[in-house]
Structure 1
Amino acid sequence: MKRKFGGNERLKRSLLNTLRREFEVLTMKPEEKIGEYFGRVMTVSNKMRSNSEDMPDSKIVEKILRTLTDQFTYVVISIEESKDTRSMSIDELQSSLAVHEQKFKKTTHEE
């Protein structure tokens, strides 16, 4: 049995290494919307979780805050100063950033 499923363990480790790399290099694209970016990050994170990787929400929240576009710099600073990102949920972060994204759009349309 060990021999039969030993290959699966190696395959799983290889897949996890690929997913870790993909997670590490993820960044928000300049014209990408918050919802789209969260979707990409969560797709990779969920694949990692399904392969037994320890992926706490805090790790995902911190990753997203580090890799947003420059337009969100002040929002990120504000969130980091006013909230504990270690206990912040992914949904809470997404809704906060989506509100700011809407404000950016509104300001751009008014100009």
Structure 2
Amino acid sequence: MLNMKIGESVKEYFARTLSVVNKLRVNKGKMDDVAVIEKILRSMIAKYDYVVCSIEESNDLDALTIGELQSSLLVHEQCLKAHVVEEHTLKVTFGESFGEKGRGRGGF
């Protein structure tokens, strides 16, 4: 139920997840941050798999805060978005440079 949805931003996912966590904490008492962090890492979509592995390997999850995790994932999300924009720009530039301008004019 709390899995990240395809197309959902890290910010949206954290807002939704932390809303549920806060409701659970009010109703059931203390829920430690480590359990929340582990749940978040387990429920990220596949494109974040390498980031999740990196975070798990390079950080002590007992010392990591939810805010630090969110910041790290936001940085990676921005890098992914920048990479997609750069890739799109290269495709457009490559297509214009290598003959796509002539399509539709009776060529091949």
CA deviations 1:59-92 (Å, max 9, x no partner) are: 1100000000101000000000000112210000
In structure 2, stretches of 5+ residues that fail to align are 88-108
Identity of aligned pairs, percent?
Answer: 49
Distance, in Å, in 1 between the alignment partners of 2:46 and 2:77 is 12
Q: Find the structure with the greater CA-based Rg.
A: 2
Which structure shows the bigger proportion of residues in helix conformation?
1
TM-score after normalising by structure 2: 0.78
Distance, in Å, in 2 between the alignment partners of 1:26 and 1:34 is 13
CA deviations 1:33-78 (Å, max 9, x no partner) are: 0000000110000001111332111111000000001010000000
Distance, in Å, in 1 between the alignment partners of 2:78 and 2:30 is 33
Determine if the alignment matches structure 1 residue 84 to structure 2 residue 60: yes
Distance, in Å, in 1 between the alignment partners of 2:7 and 2:28 is 33
Distance, in Å, in 1 between the alignment partners of 2:25 and 2:55 is 26
Tell me which residue corresponds to 1:99: 75
Determine if the alignment matches structure 1 residue 34 to structure 2 residue 10: yes
Distance, in Å, in 2 between the alignment partners of 1:53 and 1:62 is 18
Structure 1 segments of 4+ aligned residues over 2 angstroms from their partners: none
Tell me which residue corresponds to 1:48: 24
Letter of the 2:16 counterpart: R
Determine if the alignment matches structure 1 residue 60 to structure 2 residue 36: yes
Letter of the 1:95 counterpart: S
Letter of the 2:78 counterpart: Q
TM-score after normalising by structure 1: 0.76
